[in-house]
Structure 1
Amino acid sequence: MNGLLDDAARRLYLEILARGGRLMFREAMAQAPDATLRLIDLGLLVHFESDESLTAVNPRSVSDRLGNELRDRAVRKLIDSQQTAARLGDLVRAYDAAPRRLDRNPAVERVDDRRRIRQRIMQIEAEMREETLAAQPGGARPVAAMGQGLERSLGFLARGVELRTIYQPGALADPPTVNYAATVAAAGERLRVLDEPFRKMLIFDRKVAIISAAPDDNSAVFVEDPIVIAALVGLFERDWARAGRVDWYALSGRPRESGVPAELTELLKAGLTQRAIASRLGLSERTVAGHIARLREFYDAETLFQLGWQLRGASGRPTAPAE
């Protein structure tokens, strides 16, 4: 960890902040290739393959993630993990002081540029910790976006973030979308289908909402007002309750398995808490939370109580729940 960032990497990150938080990949590689790759590897820069650009990410989120990974790996890394925030302190201060943040409206802001929208979403996702609610109207998901979307979703689920998504029926007729849904469902994401019109929307940690303001997604409204957020969450929960459950595994032709260690399932059946299971198995609580999310999706359980009840009633190898 002493070599977390060298001077070249720090200078490059600060330069990108000074230029608005965005730089073309080829320009950064020409200037400092090793520093560029190191910043991408750490997560301080996000590389967009579609237009070959780089976007700066809040170093606070990188500090938290690295700290958690180090604590999970071994006790000998504990001291270094506790010092991660201090090592990135100068970058945090530079990020907060960057001029591009001064014109932000903390309540509602409309953004009419696809690149800026994507940049803001990536920054919000990097700081997300608990939950994402997504309403995705239309049918098939864009194939070009599914690759990066899958990687990000699996990463969130591995960190214990809860993901819930609503599709429209057209998604059921598109094999790539069905295959994508089956993959993320196996990892713990919960997806339903609603045969009604609704607007495209994302809600992160019930703190920030993003609403599409144009059919081509070139305009979006970012909302941080708590009252408006609460109303949007209420709309999502209403639609979620009306939406239908789908056996994505069957649609994709895959065998249906939970993918959760048997010993963890047995401890849940015995009534142990998430924290107790993590301690017993030597896992992080986020890892256990991710496994529990997968089981809830597998058994179609809305609550942990329902999951425990269904686990205790299950015999032999689980099968797909009846609708």
Structure 2
Amino acid sequence: MLNLLGLDAVAESVYRGILDRPQDVDDLCDRLKLTEKEIRDALDRLSEMALVRPSTEDPGQLHAVSPHVGMEILLARQQAELASQKQRLEASRAAAAQLILEYDDRRADAGSAEAGVRYLEGIDSIRDHLAVLREQVVRELLTFAPGGPQTQANMSASRPLNQQLLERGVQMRTVYLDSIRSCTDTMKYVHWLTEHGCQVRTVPSLPNRMIIYDRKAAIIAAHTENTAAGAMQLTSQGAVTTLHALFESVWQSAEPVVRQARPTPGALNRQQAEALRLLAQGLTDEAIANRLGVSPRTARRIASGLMDVLDADSRFQAGVHAVQRGYLPSTPL
């Protein structure tokens, strides 16, 4: 149950056992039906996490910190920043933004068709076209899925379609936002996908909604703020190659959904680091909420938390402190 917080099953059972009452290694072996080595290895891990210590009342017994304090300790260990991957991700976002800018106003006329661009207007047109492409895909389907937690309607509609693709042997890789990890229903769906062979990873934010079919065609949203308004199909080799490179770059920096890296104590977590980067770009709370796939209220809470972490009284001061502590570059990327 606590594996997402870095605590394996054996260590968790030992921690729970000590919570019931302080006891020594022999008692734990008898009660939990574990070997002495398993108990001592688990105690070493729990001690490293500051979750157990010798009892002050009886040094021969073990004492577990309260669940409230213990969970705070585990959550604190999850705070980290994967800063080494940010510069590459930024370069990829810039390339994607340039490509989207070049084609945003294109339409499916004769000229654009020859250039490998087809404009799809309206959600019904987009869905119909996606259905055709799904029937044609043979080897690989790559997807950026922004927007945070998925709706029940979307997951119910997608499940049989994805199952058909996976049963046909199509290799699927999907990148969601980190914010889905807090949604139980979405995570159940994601685990269902992984059990059926789909590879899933998450990142703090995504530049746009995108699907790449067999590296021959790509669909991107025409408007990042309203992905249902329209979409573009790109089939020119240069455009598809660029978008595929973008996907692979983001994929390499993304975190597998089945495990999440243990952050360095005291560092920002991935969502906080991304929110800080967006704040430094001057985005509003509403725009940041959209990029992170969370509510505006949650975005404001994240921003407020950053102010506390950075010991700042204003967003300007937070930016100064972030640069001083190495969370942001001293010059814009």
Query: Where on the TM-score scale, by shorter chain, does this alignment land: which range?
Result: 0.3 to 0.5
Higher relative contact order (CA 8 A, sep 6+): 2
Asked which structure has the greater CA Rg, the reply is: 2
User: TM-score, normalized by length of structure 2?
Assistant: 0.43
